Structure 1
Amino acid sequence: MNKFQQSQKDNLFKTSTHDPYRLPRVEGAAICPQCNAVYQGGNWTWKHPENTVIHDARTVKCPACRRIVDNMPAGTLTLSGSFLQKHRKEIINLIENTEKKEKAEHALERIINLTDSAADLIVTTTGIHLANRLGHALEAAFKGTVDYQYGDDEYGLTVNWTRDE
């Protein structure tokens, strides 16, 4: 078997990653009762459709609110190193500002929790894209070393950022 055949064989039996919090396609519109995000046309957004009054929209909890209630993050960012302790306030401001920008454009990308664990700071997110963006923002602003690990069998991303002086 040549290299091409082997690569095709490996791809043939891989299943796609499944997000258990993703809703099946819903006909019509829906509104999340917790955050007021609107589901229409397969997307969750903050914008209510123009010139459209949603009379019979169902109230369906969005995937981000469900993850927050269940405390089941899709992304986990772990920050460590002596630089973190000295510049903690600036780093948290960067994280919060990055989340604000991402959340404004993508209703399902939010921070679940910021937690102190020994000398580390752990940030959990409702989506993998926010965790990815936070890792890139930290690397761009403060340098350091970033490691991204996507889950093989589950929908998730673990990002580790570290910087020592």
Structure 2
Amino acid sequence: MDKYQQSHKDKLFKTSTHDPYCSQRVEGSAICSQCGAVYHAGNWTWSRPENTVAHAAKDTTCPACRRVADDMPAGTLTLSGSFLQKHRDEIIHLMEHTEKAEKAEHALERIIKLSDSADDLIVTTTGIHLANRLSHALESAFKGQSDYRYSADQYGVSIHWTRDE
């Protein structure tokens, strides 16, 4: 193996990182005992297809509810800047509206919590797609700068959005 092949060896054979919370499979169809999401044909949704029998077992919990219970976010969005302090209520309203739209289509995409840290607002999500969508909604509505960092060894994304006036 020459130097070029050796330098690219790790890059060529790296496996993609998968969400460990979604690796647990459910046999047949089921209903999450906490939120009511329906598992059918390998997907979690809000609607149950006709002629499908879903079992509401006490121990069946969707990946999003498990993430919330474990407080293990897949996405972390940190907002900062003087603009945040002046328009906090508008920003929170936008994030709640965006989550509602995303959650209606994708049962596993939810906000875990909004918390304050110094002058920052930290939003944690059950999925990386909702974190991305929130960041894009912020950029579209209020401009600002976003910095995306995907984890190399874990399933997750960390996004930092900032805007100063």
- Same fold? TM cut 0.5: yes
**1:6 Cα shift?**
6.3
Q: How many equivalent residue pairs?
A: 163
**1:22 Cα shift?**
1.1
* TM-score for the superposition, normalised by structure 2: 0.91
* TM-score for the superposition, normalised by structure 1: 0.91
What amino acid sits opposite 1:94 in the alignment? L
**1:7 Cα shift?**
7.8
For the residue of structure 2 that corresponds to 1:21, the secondary structure is: helix
- 2: CA distance between counterparts of 1:72 and 1:156? 10
Partner of 1:104: 104
Contact residue 79 and residue 161 of structure 1 kept, 8 A: yes
1:9-59 Cα offsets, whole Å, 9 max, x none, are 3333312203221143333101100000000100000001123343x4545
Contact residue 29 and residue 41 of structure 2 kept, 8 A: yes
Contact residue 33 and residue 56 of structure 2 kept, 8 A: no
Contact residue 28 and residue 57 of structure 1 kept, 8 A: no
Long gaps (5+) in structure 1 = none
Partner of 2:43: 43
Partner of 2:140: 140
Q: Within 5 A, what are the aligned runs for 1:58-69?
A: 58-59=57-58, 60-69=60-69
What value does the CA root-mean-square deviation take over the aligned residues? 1.7
Partner of 2:113: 113
Partner of 1:70: 70
What amino acid sits opposite 2:64 in the alignment? A
From the superposition, tell whether residues 40 and 143 of structure 1 become closer, same or farther in structure 2 (CA, over 3 Å). Answer: same
For the residue of structure 1 that corresponds to 2:16, the secondary structure is: coil
- 2: CA distance between counterparts of 1:42 and 1:7? 38
